[in-house]
Chains A and B, each alone.
Chain A
Amino acid sequence: KQEVTQIPAALSVPEGENLVLNCSFTDSAIYNLQWFRQDPGKGLTSLLLIQSSQREQTSGRLNASLDKSSGRSTLYIAASQPGDSATYLCAVKSNDYKLSFGAGTTVTVRA
């Protein structure tokens, strides 16, 4: 069974600092990995999707890398802003229909 771990569980940084969020998974036979953002009491917003054949994906200030062999993905958020405060979830697809989620990293960006 795929196990997904996100470290740290919580992170607090001053505005302008770069954020580094980590995701590790136990089974390297994955189809893709997706990063989501969740604001309190809301649904999940997709940030980036990385297919198993890709090493990274970028969207604006966000960059996600994938190292399948070591079972790791990292989400980088450049020049953080207070609006980046949220919980970030990593999800790994290991078979056709199921996602395995990490518990998330809760980020606070201090103004």
Chain B
Amino acid sequence: DVKVTQSSRYLVKRTGEKVFLECVQDMDHENMFWYRQDPGLGLRLIYFSYDVKMKEKGDIPEGYSVSREKKERFSLILESASTNQTSMYLCASRLDYNYGYTFGSGTRLTVV
């Protein structure tokens, strides 16, 4: 089975800090995604990448950036964390557009 690993389950960061969320997949998937999940708003797409060094904005990219230097790793960067970025962050990967998504176990980020 494909495994998508998110490096932290829980993170607490201060306002203004630069925050890195890491995601690694182990099955040579082409596409990777970052979502955030909030009560009442559901899952929203932040950024995605369909290949190494490629990235595309999702529905809510403001305040975030991403990096994909290697195929297996997709990093989400909060340039200057704010309290409204407190959320559950979910990483997902997919072999290509015909296949289903595999999600990681999530990172619960709290910005204080």
Contacts and interface: CB of A to CB of B under 8 A. Distances in A.
Interface of A: 31-32, 34, 36, 41-46, 49, 51, 89, 91, 93, 96-99, 101-104
Interface in B78-112: 88, 90, 92, 97-106, 108
Interface in B37-81: 42-43, 45, 48, 50, 56, 58
B48 A36 contact: no
Interface of B: 6, 31, 33, 42-43, 45, 48, 50, 56, 58, 88, 90, 92, 97-106, 108
A44 B100 contact: no
Contact of A43 (B98, B99, B105): B105
A46 B102 contact: yes
Interface of A (DSSP majority class): strand
The 6 A-B residue pairs whose C-beta atoms are closest, nearest first, are: A49-B100, A44-B103, A43-B105, A43-B106, A96-B97, A43-B103
Nearest to B97: A96
Nearest to A41: B108
Contacts of A49: 99-100
A44 B98 contact: no
A31 B103 contact: no
B100 A101 contact: no
A97 B58 CA distance: 9
Contacts of B58: 98
B100 A98 contact: no
A27 B48 CA distance: 23
Nearest to A93: B97
